[in-house]
Amino acid sequence: MTLVAVDGTLLKALPKMLWALWLDEDHRAAKVHLEFDILKGIPIQAQVTHANKSEIAQLESTLAPGKLYCLDAGYGEYRFLDKIIQQPSSFVMRLRDNASYETIEERTLSEADRKVGIEFDRVVWLGSKQKRNNFSKPMRIIQLHYYDVRALLGHKRKSRVSSKKTFRTRSAEQTLLIATDRMDLSAELIGLIYRYRWQIELFFRWFKCILGCQHLLALSQNGITIQVYCALIASLLIRLWTGRKPTKRTFEMICLYFQGWASLEELIGHIEGLKSQDQKQQ
């Protein structure tokens, strides 16, 4: 089963890009819907739509069997989650704090579970009584306690959906409710799987900030799609050449080579140096 993180990210567009619907006529954006293979560290599927396109509807159109989807709370529509199970595939997803459920069984926690902050592990019916028929079988939820390092350091998160300059603050101590249909995995492993969902956020940072895909080179949806695909192909080629996730330093070396400031021998030497570092770590 392929472990896949799924999420979307916005690329701000110009007001004259009428197809790129977002907040209002002065604030437009395109949305990149991405599936990311966590274990291989590569994107495996991407689509470009207007920013108001539902991420649930987009993923539903591309569901496939044999995948373990790692999802954030925005995908928490129960009928959709049951469609994942019917593929057949599975999911690990963060629930909202106010999620409704009825406990069927309290599972025993191991010492390893408690050590990583697991507070409980339960088999439940998700949803209120009126919506309980959305699932064909009971689900499993775990609660994980953790400390938000950025909150401890006093960082604030800027709101991504408001056109005004607003910020969101969080407490340093946090709990996560994580839902899954997998009864065979340990609670510790489920928490670890969700932790690795962050890999797709790191890829978005590479994609937008280092590759520069926040700067759009076209106005049409097809043009932006071509730009996105070119960036993804470049990322895959760097991964193929180096055998590791693309980094800023490797990207800089490739740019220097294409600009004529670095020779082919220097570029190959950089790549070989990365491979030798990986061999030493192993």
Alpha-carbon distance 32 to 195, whole Å? 22
Q: How far apart are CA 7 and CA 90, in angstroms?
A: 16
Most confident of 1-10, 24-33, 123-132, 255-264: 1-10
Percent of all residues in the chain with a pLDDT value above 70, rounded to a whole number: 90
Helix or strand or coil: residue 98? Answer: coil
Contacts of residue 273, defined as CB under 8 A and 6 or more positions apart, other chains included, come to: none
Span 2-20, mean pLDDT?
A: 93
**Residues 226-269: tens digit of each pLDDT:** 999 999 999 998 888 888 887 888 888 888 988 899 998 988 88
Task: Tell me which residue of 20, 22, 19, 33 sits closest to 228, measured CA to CA.
Answer: 33
Please report which confidence band the pLDDT of residue 281 belongs to, taking 50, 70 and 90 as the band edges: low
pLDDT one-digit tens code per residue, 196-217: 999 999 999 999 988 888 889 9
What's the mean pLDDT in 266-273? 86
**Domain spans in the chain, listed from the N-terminal domain onward:** 93-181, 221-281
Given its phi and psi angles, is residue 246 left (phi above 0), alpha (psi -120 to 50 degrees) or beta? Answer: beta
The rounded mean pLDDT for the chain is 88
Residue-wise pLDDT for 90-103, tens only, equals 999 999 988 899 99
Are 140 and 122 spatial neighbours (Cβ–Cβ below 8 Å)? yes
pLDDT band at 117 (very low <50, low <70, confident <90, very high): very high
Predicted confidence band at 8 (pLDDT cuts at 50, 70, 90)?
Answer: very high
Distance CA 54, CA 44 (A): 20
pLDDT at 161 over 70: no
How many Å apart are CA 239 and CA 40, to the nearest integer? Answer: 9
Mean pLDDT within 165-181? 77
pLDDT for position 149: 64
Count of all residues that appear for the chain in the document: 282
- Mean pLDDT across 71-96: 94
% of the chain exceeding 90 in pLDDT: 59
